[in-house]
Structure 1
Amino acid sequence: MLGKPKIDVNYTSNLLNFVKVRKTFQFGSKAETLARLDGELKRWSIPQFRHFDLARWQMSHDAVLADIADLADGKGTVIVRSSARNEDGELYAQAGAFLSVPHIPPADRAALISAIEEVFASYRGAAAESNSEDQVLVQKMVDRVSMSGVIFTQVLSSGAPYYVVNYDDETGLTDSVTSGTGYVNRTIYIHRDHVDTVRSERFLQLLSAVREIEQITGESSLDIEFAIDMDHHIHLFQARRITAQPNWSRGLSQRIDDALVRLEKSVAPRLLLEGGDSKTATILGKMPDWNPAEIIGNAPRRLAFSLYRYVITDSVWRVARERMGYFHPRGKPLMVSCAGQPYIDVRQSLRSFIPATIPDDLANRMVLYWLHKLADNPLLHDKVEFGIALTAWTFDFDTRARQMLPEDVTQDEMVLIHEAYREMTVDLVDGRRASVAQQVIAVNELQARYEVLAGEQEHPPTIDLARELLENCIELGTIPFSILARHGFIAKALLQSLREEGLLSGDDINAFNQSITSVVTEFIVNIHRFREGEIKLEDLLRDYGHLRPGTYDIMSLRYDQRGEEVFSISGDSPPATEPFVLSPAKSAEIEKRLSAAGFSLSCNDFLQYCREAIRGREWAKLVFTRSISACLEVLAAWGEDQRLSRDELSHLDIRELMDCTVVQHGRSFEEHLRVRAESGRREHEVTTGVRLPFLLTRHSDLFVVPMLLEQPNFVTLKQVTGVCLHVSSTNIAPGLLDGKIVAIESADPGFDWIFTRNILGLVTQFGGANSHMAIRCAELNIPAAIGCGEQIFERVTRSNQIELDCAAGTIKLVEH
């Protein structure tokens, strides 16, 4: 194996450094570029090849075939590849547009002629007539492949300063990435100026080889196709310029670099695997608690980010948990910004899942153990409450505790932990502390206050009105919702533990979920009633018009701004929910276990608690999002009076807007806020351009970002195959959804309208086992893969047909 290559740290990748080099290298067709690089490269092997144009091929098949015959010396096979004149232009490219035919024996004259003719014929789809200068490239196949793929030397969409390596190190194929087939290819982003932080020797060798091509060609924007064989030789199949450069934002690379420098100074020293203080070191994650990537997106605009902070993650989350008996991390925000991307401080999250009665020293040991467990199991980043931490007592608590607590916990400490969680959970379920009923009363009060405020909106919209809506929302909406959401989790965890203990079956739990008449069931029933003339459109708009796909996004239209199409419906009205009834024997056994644990509830009372907790969570979300939605509309109307667009408002912090009534800046609101909005817009370009992982555990995570292949949360045990349709907050076309497997990024309640259609299944990029959409699909018995992650979601949305097998836990790409 080659030794670890020496990386020239003085070699920089910014395009500006290349203008100092007089460009002598000339790119040509695919074949011509390879021919010009052949002999110049020391770190690459270019497989033997022959190339010829259409004119020569038409003049003499025999001469061309004779030239090809000795290509493989009678051994191996060749691939017939495209090398059209319009395939690799300086300002345009047609990557993947033309045919390649692999595994042709060079001595098989008929097969070779057929393959060459097929490749030439594929060009005619992109041109009115054949071009005699179009070429075909015949190249020796590389065998014994350990890894193959494509490298972009800058991010294709934005020009951000990353090497983007799409690779397959499983199948042994050379074209699995370029053809888009398969389910195994992976992606890693590596910041161009921090290649030295890469720990993998094969990637260091590969990137050193890529830099050789950059130096020889004088280009830093390249698309390179490669393979590495079992002997660690790196083979070059293609090097072309990236033609998207005219669309890139000037100066973005430098601004991304500046943002990463700031993160190095402020965030990196706090990370767990950097050897920090065991009592303060943390992990930052996008999904471990309150799921910000799911709710406001991976790269939210400033208003959405700040609004989520204001009503949830600055203080509401910890106030709610304190009321339930958990530890209160006073003064600690839950969410932090990393170059504008939302991250949860996992240390604070984990600490807030421990009852307040557990001593600090023991609690800190538990937290540190859980942090290391998460660092060792990053795929659990969106399943922390199931696979990492203890958050409530359950019927199988002792078994789970032995699996989820450090080995140095003594028997006395184990008893203390057990009793602390048990007493807190019993108080919550029995209703002695922060009861479900109390939270529902608060949410009903929020609805009453909202209706009063809505009736007073005849006057011009004001910032004070927006502030009042948010203050009511926090006091009577998001705090009660936070408590109800935790009750909902406790209910789910208790039911699941009864299954683990053999007291309930999977069918029992499915039947129980389907017995709950939730918000979405009522939504679908009411749309049927509207279509049948039983209720009016204004009735629907009153109850559901405030919903928008993107609850915190002022750019997303509400249901009542989209017209009647969002209330179209297909299929039959959902059947009446069947009451859930357990056998007397099961009820008696569950009551015995409840009594032994100290609960004062009967089995029926316990099931009613679970039912009300799960339903209450969804009801509270419907109600409190009405205040959020109204606040956004008040801001939009106020902004219009100040000649500020929704787009400009979306780049402002909610505190900047609310400060307008108490602090004066500039000559006018418009002038001051427009300047701030432009600054926010530029910051958002960095937010969308910077690449960061779902978990930050060490310094190098800022610069080397492998995209995780997630394990989705599968709902139901069904298997379906069908056409996949990607739906976003802007491309709403209800009539297209019938009979389709729908793919959406987030599990936002604003997407509830999809359940009015006869969808075949659902796939989401973000979301956990207890997320909004998981509950919806369980209730409606719709097969779903919730939270499949970036890589799987991207491939699903690029595929025409997929097979969703929830029982087997698989998603297969049937037709790409």
Structure 2
Amino acid sequence: MTARVTLGTKAESLSRVSALLRSGRVLALMYFTVAEWRAKRNEIINAITDFTEYDQTLIIRSSTRREDSAQHSAAGEFLSIKGVRGSKALGGAIDSVIASYGMCIDDDQVLVQPEASTVIASGVAASCDPSTGSPYRVVNWVDGPETAAVTSGAGAPLRTWYHVSHRATVDPPETFLKNVIKLVGELEDLTGIRHLQVEFGIDKNGHPILFQVRQLTNVPTSIPTQKHHDALMKVYQRLRDSPPDHSHPGVIGRRSIYGVMPDWNPAEIIGIRPRPLALSLYRTLLTDHAWSAARRRYGYRSVGAPVLTDFAGSPYVDSRVSFSSLVPADLDDSLATRLVDYYIDRLDSNPHLHDKVEFEIAFTCYTFDLDKRLAPLRTAGFDEDDSRTLSRSLHALTKKLLSGLGPWHADQQSIRELARRRLHFANQPAHSTSRIKRLLNDCMRYGTVSFAGLARGAFIATQLLSSLVNAEVLSPPERLEFISGIRTVAREMSEKFRQLSREDFLARYGHLRPGTYDILSARYDETPDLYFNWHRHEPQMAQQAEFHLSAPQVRKLTDLLIRSDFPISPSNFLSFLGAAIKAREVAKFEFTHNLSDALLSLRLLGEQMNIDTGDLSYLNVPTIMQLSGDLAHNTGLVRAAVERGRAAHEITESIALPPLITSCEEIWGFEMPRTQPNFVSQRRVIAPVALVAEGNPIEGCIALLVSADPGYDWIFTHGIVGLVTCYGGVNSHMAVRAQELNIPAVIGAGEIRFHHWVGASTLEIDSANMSVRVIA
């Protein structure tokens, strides 16, 4: 690629491309040095007013030698002033911009342009994925006349579109985006630089106005373009050629949608781009067989297919498989199929519900407000008989659970057996291959099927509890009071942290690790000082009073249970709800103990083979099950598997896919949901949280800011190790700065996530895997 334009300062770059640009335009400009301004102030003011017509509104922009270099962008670090009119205001604005340079040099510049008018949208486009270097055009924009909304990271309704650069432009969500893509491509050709960031506005005719072009810095090296294309083509063909009639037993419905959040929620559990070992463990232990076996035992349709698939290593839930498994087993195929199709159509029409499918889309148990919840079926072509039939089926499986006739008690016994068996081989050598296999096999045999069943019971209990609010038996605060009174594992752990010695606490809870399936996520007992402040005084938790219903509430609930034909007393009903919610947490605590011990043993075995933990994260479960007592054999086997896994994961990290895939064409271009955070860098960090606005010390901390405002650029000089903002996009100035400094960041987390993380004391940001975990 032969460059026709050499980038310089902001002003020089715009001036050099303006005469050659065909896919966009640069507004008229003048620029001068600081030395020239100091020597010829009045002459420059006169020249500007003559050049732009005196009454035109101007923007005075920074253009220093410290901005937009190949090593450092200083994005947003210096001042620009809009809305400037008149010579007095002009002189003052120029002085202010120069003052923002601090220790400036004589050949630093100031750029003057007319302010863009009649702009209908504006944004920033990157010629590659800034965090991975992968061949995508990534465009952030906002609709409306505000030209700095994207770069400032303010709370504007930001939109983001990804387009594969080696693919002909697909239909974008806005027509003008095609012109933006052309502009980025032309600037690549003119400059000979592959990694560019372009600030633009869109005029009323849909044509781009170029505000700035700079080189992106510290961009990782991506896989070759052809390799990227081949990987995406395989994903595209899999989706395109997926047969309408599913070949697995029990799976019904005419089509599928794939999501990272529905049902077993891989985005939360293992992340968007998990290492091969974490993905393999999650599939083997839960999403291949255990999940469906549990649902079958609890009265749902038998489904002979994994619920989780992966596209180039990124895990997705197959919604058709998931919805098929949530249909009561006694429904005939006709009604069951129509229900699954209805669920999928509703998800397609309401993609924002993809993390709430069991609450907002599917009907999976009887609740006291079920008739009201089933009402939308009537407008979707289901008749009254269909609703009655579904209601009877859901009532039967819910009643069976409440009556104690199902597998709920047996599942709890199986979890206790898992814990008992774990003690039997605790004395085996920690790095023993047989110990690793036994821990995993017991986990599958006694743990995960029962956990999946108890999780189903807990979900039904949660739904029933919520319906008590809708039935006006409980108020919302009373519902929360009931839940907070349940002695879950988390609540007990908080109490034991204050009561037990460090050694005893870690003996009981040390197996826990924030990333349950991730060998790179240290256990509590491996790095306890990272997770806990042993010297911090924890206030005594208030004694939780036992929850009791009032006499009128008892009468109302009794009547509700009788009318619902549930042969259970109000006190026993509430006891079951609490026990079901607790049983799920206990089951998770126990089966993950086996898993965590197996990962620890694998790490110790890796030390015997001189293979580090990072390499082991590229293994898979089939390889682990082939391990023997021969160390030399194991070493060769593992090293070969590691190389295969590393090569596969390199592709995984290079690919961006939408969180909800509804069409094979979305592989080549898609708009990101506005609730999807933007992850910067490929690094992982665990650190305390510091709220910048509250004046918390931020050195060595993950800084939390409401907006990605470049006015907070000073935080990067105070030794922060991570950054989270509520608002902002991947092309905001703060995102650019975090990328340059290789600081893991989450930009535009959204209000719900942000406020959840504000309440934490310690977070883990895993940018490569696009996940955040609350540690404490």
Q: Which has the higher contact order (CA 8 A, sep 6+)?
A: 2
Partner of 1:753: none
Partner of 1:61: 41
Taking the aligned partners of 1:674 and 1:795, their CA distance within structure 2 comes to 44
Amino acid of the structure 2 residue aligned with 1:499? V
Partner of 1:443: 415
Amino acid of the structure 2 residue aligned with 1:573? Q
Taking the aligned partners of 1:130 and 1:598, their CA distance within structure 2 comes to 81
Q: SS in structure 1 opposite 2:150?
A: coil
Taking the aligned partners of 2:439 and 2:346, their CA distance within structure 1 comes to 41
Distance 1:401 1:71, change over 3 A: farther
Partner of 1:303: 277
1:288–1:381 CA contact under 8 A, matched in 2: yes
Taking the aligned partners of 2:333 and 2:394, their CA distance within structure 1 comes to 15
Q: SS in structure 2 opposite 1:327?
A: coil
Task: List per-residue Cα deviations over 1:591-650 (Å, max 9, x = no partner).
Answer: 111122221111111111110011111111111111010010111112221222111110
2:437–2:624 CA contact under 8 A, matched in 1: no
> Structure 1: any 5+ residue segments left out of the alignment?
1-17, 531-535, 713-725, 746-762, 766-788, 805-816
**2:686 maps to 1:731:** yes
**2:531 maps to 1:566:** yes
**2:50 maps to 1:70:** yes
2:125–2:197 CA contact under 8 A, matched in 1: yes
Amino acid of the structure 2 residue aligned with 1:641? Q
Partner of 1:771: none
Distance 1:366 1:54, change over 3 A: same
Taking the aligned partners of 2:90 and 2:590, their CA distance within structure 1 comes to 68
Q: How does 1:170-249 map to 2 (within 5 A)?
A: 170=144, 172-199=145-172, 200-245=174-219, 247-249=220-222
Distance 1:427 1:764, change over 3 A: farther
Amino acid of the structure 1 residue aligned with 2:75? A
Choose the corresponding residue for 2:228, options 256, 260, 280.
256
Comparing 137-146 with 405-414, greater Cα deviation is found at 405-414
1:743–1:764 CA contact under 8 A, matched in 2: no
Partner of 1:516: 486
**2:465 maps to 1:495:** yes
Taking the aligned partners of 1:401 and 1:414, their CA distance within structure 2 comes to 7
**2:475 maps to 1:505:** yes
Partner of 1:773: none
Distance 1:764 1:216, change over 3 A: closer
Shift of 1:383: 0.5
Taking the aligned partners of 1:554 and 1:78, their CA distance within structure 2 comes to 56
Partner of 1:111: 89
Amino acid of the structure 2 residue aligned with 1:137? L
Distance 1:404 1:494, change over 3 A: farther
2:256–2:318 CA contact under 8 A, matched in 1: yes
Q: How does 1:74-85 map to 2 (within 5 A)?
A: 74-85=54-65
Comparing 792-801 with 601-610, greater Cα deviation is found at 792-801
**2:542 maps to 1:575:** yes
**How many pairs were matched up?**
707
Partner of 2:616: 649
Task: List per-residue Cα deviations over 1:25-82 (Å, max 9, x = no partner).
Answer: 2222211111122232233121222111112111110111112113442444111111
Q: SS in structure 2 opposite 1:705?
A: strand
Amino acid of the structure 1 residue aligned with 2:4? T
1:707–1:791 CA contact under 8 A, matched in 2: no
Comparing 439-448 with 148-157, greater Cα deviation is found at 439-448
Shift of 1:460: 5.5
Taking the aligned partners of 1:613 and 1:482, their CA distance within structure 2 comes to 12
TM-score, normalising length: structure 1: 0.81
**2:607 maps to 1:640:** yes
Partner of 1:792: 748
1:252–1:685 CA contact under 8 A, matched in 2: no
Task: List per-residue Cα deviations over 1:347-379 (Å, max 9, x = no partner).
Answer: 010011111000112111111111111111111
Comparing 481-490 with 178-187, greater Cα deviation is found at 178-187
Shift of 1:555: 1.0
Taking the aligned partners of 2:511 and 2:758, their CA distance within structure 1 comes to 33
Partner of 1:542: 507
**2:294 maps to 1:320:** yes
Shift of 1:180: 2.0
Taking the aligned partners of 1:729 and 1:43, their CA distance within structure 2 comes to 39
Amino acid of the structure 1 residue aligned with 2:748? I
Q: SS in structure 1 opposite 2:539?
A: coil
Taking the aligned partners of 2:30 and 2:752, their CA distance within structure 1 comes to 37
Amino acid of the structure 2 residue aligned with 1:522? E
Q: How does 1:325-404 map to 2 (within 5 A)?
A: 325-330=299-304, 332-404=305-377
Q: What percent identity do the matched residue pairs reach?
A: 34
Q: SS in structure 2 opposite 1:80?
A: strand
Partner of 1:719: none
Q: SS in structure 2 opposite 1:651?
A: coil
1:548–1:557 CA contact under 8 A, matched in 2: yes
1:286–1:292 CA contact under 8 A, matched in 2: yes
1:78–1:139 CA contact under 8 A, matched in 2: yes
TM-score, normalising length: structure 2: 0.85
Choose the corresponding residue for 1:555, options 489, 513, 520.
520
Q: SS in structure 2 opposite 1:197?
A: coil
Taking the aligned partners of 1:25 and 1:744, their CA distance within structure 2 comes to 39
Shift of 1:546: 0.3
Partner of 2:626: 659
Q: SS in structure 2 opposite 1:188?
A: strand
**2:688 maps to 1:708:** no
Q: SS in structure 1 opposite 2:121?
A: strand
**2:126 maps to 1:152:** yes
Shift of 1:301: 0.2
Partner of 1:39: 19
1:691–1:705 CA contact under 8 A, matched in 2: no
Shift of 1:183: 4.0
Distance 1:183 1:575, change over 3 A: farther
Shift of 1:257: 1.8
Partner of 1:621: 588
Q: SS in structure 1 opposite 2:209?
A: strand
2:688–2:702 CA contact under 8 A, matched in 1: no
Taking the aligned partners of 1:89 and 1:796, their CA distance within structure 2 comes to 37
Amino acid of the structure 2 residue aligned with 1:537? R
Shift of 1:730: 4.1
Shift of 1:145: 2.4
